[in-house]
Amino acid sequence: MDSSLPPSVILIRPPVEAFSVLIAVTGGCSWNKCKFCATYKGILGEKPQDYAIRPLEDVLRDIDAFAANNYHGYPVFLAGGNPTSAPTEYLVKILKYVRGKMREIPRISCYCKALDVIRKSDEELKALAEAGLDIVYMGLESGSSKILRIMKKGTNAESFIKAGKRILNAGIKLSMYILLGLGSYELSNEHVKETARVLTEINPTIFRFRTLNILPNTPLWDDWKKGKFELLKPVDCIREEREIIANLGPNVTSQVFNDHVSNFCSIESSNIQKDREMFLQTLNAFINDPRIQNLPRENRTNL
């Protein structure tokens, strides 16, 4: 019997969407090859969740139910690994239906892959913005094309730059994720410099730091267990974050957050251009703290 989860089951959403209305649009991830990601590889012990686009009538039925139960005034998150992989016309219908049925929505958001953006025209991206898509969450992970290739991300730095700029030019806000420690010690310096370069080129609305932890059902788990990949110590993760911030260009005005349980600090900024020195000083204080310097690294598998 096939025990894979149906696309109506939502496995993940950003922490910032904790109090949002969650509407399943796609199931699984259309790529699902990243070495470090376990989300759609059977994280709950079942078969990997297959990629699928939900029937439009099922999605609209869910929206009707939320509206009937007075879920007005909440943010709406269109769920699935990368809903922007779905046809633009399909997404526009959903966005307009949400805006028409649910009142006073502060934002509509979803996950997004760079490849999805590359495959859509500028007109399609603008259509999504005009229909009501406010912000997308995109996993940059690293600005290093070498690290992205090793981790089987399926794209490179220049594609991220192109996709990021096109999202912003269409009038959609962009939140990008950075994964500290993804290059291990061997490629840490490249990870830092290239990530800062890509962020400088894009100047995303927001970027968020996450710290790499390795889950058992990922290809990276085997590398780690065999000693082919080393996790950074907590103090070195913070050093990477400090160096990324220090290497940003002066044009970067992004909001910056450490809003995840994996991180070793919780500093944030509403505008890193204005807050850079404060940010760096705070990170320096963490780095120079003996408690952080002596903090052992644990690999968390219950994120």
On the question of pLDDT at 43 being above 80, the answer is no
CATH architecture, domain defined by 15-293: Alpha-Beta Barrel (3.20)
CB 80 within 8 A of CB 49: no
Percent of the chain beyond pLDDT 70? 98
CB 82 within 8 A of CB 116: yes
On the question of pLDDT at 46 being above 70, the answer is no
DSSP single-letter state for residue 193: H
Task: Show the beta-strand stretches assigned E in 142-235.
Answer: 173-180, 206-211
- Average pLDDT (53-74) is 97
The more confidently predicted of residues 76 and 301 is 76
Q: In this predicted model, what pLDDT tens digit does every residue of 194-215 receive, in sequence order?
A: 999 999 999 999 999 999 999 9
- Average pLDDT (131-156) is 98
* pTM, two decimal places: 0.95
- Average pLDDT (242-271) is 96
Antiparallel, parallel or unpaired: β 52-53 and 26-27: antiparallel
The helix/strand count (H/E) of the chain reads as: 11, 9
pLDDT category of residue 302 using cuts at 50, 70 and 90: confident
CA–CA dist 150, 66 (Å, integer): 42
Q: Which of 47-51, 155-159, 272-276 has the lowest mean pLDDT?
A: 47-51
pLDDT category of residue 247 using cuts at 50, 70 and 90: very high
- Average pLDDT (87-111) is 97
On the question of pLDDT at 3 being above 60, the answer is no
On the question of pLDDT at 44 being above 60, the answer is no
Arithmetic mean of pLDDT over the chain: 95
On the question of pLDDT at 1 being above 50, the answer is no
The more confidently predicted of residues 48 and 158 is 158
pLDDT category of residue 40 using cuts at 50, 70 and 90: confident
Query: What is the per-residue pLDDT for 214?
Result: 96
Residue 28: partners with Cβ closer than 8 Å, 6 or more residues away: 7, 40, 48, 49, 50, 51, 52, 80, 81
CA–CA dist 117, 170 (Å, integer): 11
Query: What is the per-residue pLDDT for 303?
Result: 73
- Average pLDDT (162-191) is 98
On the question of pLDDT at 283 being above 80, the answer is yes
